Amino acid sequence: MVRLCCTNGWTPLCYAALGGDPLLVSSLLQEKADPSDAITEQEPLCQFAAQTSALHMCAFLKRNESLRLLLDSKADMNHVDGYGANALHWAAVANNAEGIQILYAAGVGAHVPNMLGYSPFAMACSGGGTEAIQELIVYASREEVAEGLHDCFSGLDGRSLVSDWAPSCLALQREVGLASRGSSLCFPIFSQLECVAVMSRELVEIGDDRQTGRDTGR
């Protein structure tokens, strides 16, 4: 029974991974559920592709205790879903730093591209996940870092620069600056980045002051 799929292509273990109860996950594994269970159809609400596994779900939803249980039970850690993504991609998208640590320690590949050619590090940069960036940058090549910096810049737009993206870009600056000390290529870019972030903060503050002036009749 624990291996049967519902008509929508979900097994009990996949539902347990979605719910995040490690006791239920453990119980199903003891009853011989397949730790590599995956859904057979796309799930649009969570944007899961067909073949998204219970391991992927735990990585994305930060169900890290269940993530460990699945890995301990020999889940296929290199399984890819319909997007070509492995569990590390999903952890990166979710900014799940602990999940990234768990998966990398288990041996999940950090350089595997998904169907768009994005590595887990690139996915973290695209999503602006500061903690994920800091975890994955240790394993990134110089080319991946350059592309990741470009992706962070792509997210710099108006207020999002200050509230969402600037912290990720500056974290990338700090980490790569330390890793690439003396690089004639990197430091000019990082200096420009910091200037852009500071200038954008000032422009937003000026805009707020002007808006306040209009609201108060000044």
Write the pLDDT tens digit of every residue in 159-183. Answer: 344 445 555 555 555 555 544 333 3
Dump pLDDT digits (tens) for 75-89: 999 999 999 999 999
**How many CB atoms are closer than 10 A to CB 62?**
17
- Per-range mean pLDDT, top range of 3-17, 43-57, 160-174: 43-57
For residues 38 and 88, state if they share a domain: yes
- CA proximity to 76, closest of 10, 131, 13, 9: 13
For residue 135, being part of any structural domain is answered with no
Report the CATH number that the domain containing residue 62 is assigned in CATH: 1.25.40.20
Confidence of residue 50 (pLDDT cuts 50, 70, 90): very high
pLDDT band at 137 (very low <50, low <70, confident <90, very high): confident
**Same domain, yes or no, for 7 and 77?**
yes
Q: What is the mean pLDDT of residues 103-121?
A: 92
- Residue 120 in contact with residue 89, Cβ under 8 Å? yes
| SS (HEC) of 173-192 | HHHHHHHCCCCCCHHHHHHH
Which of 129, 151, 170 is the last residue in one of the domains? Answer: 129
- Domain containing 37 equals 1-129
Q: Are residues 52 and 80 in the same domain?
A: yes
- Both 14 and 110 in a single domain? yes
* Residues 151 and 91 placed together within one structural domain of the fold: no
- CA distance linking residue 99 with residue 62, whole number of Å: 7
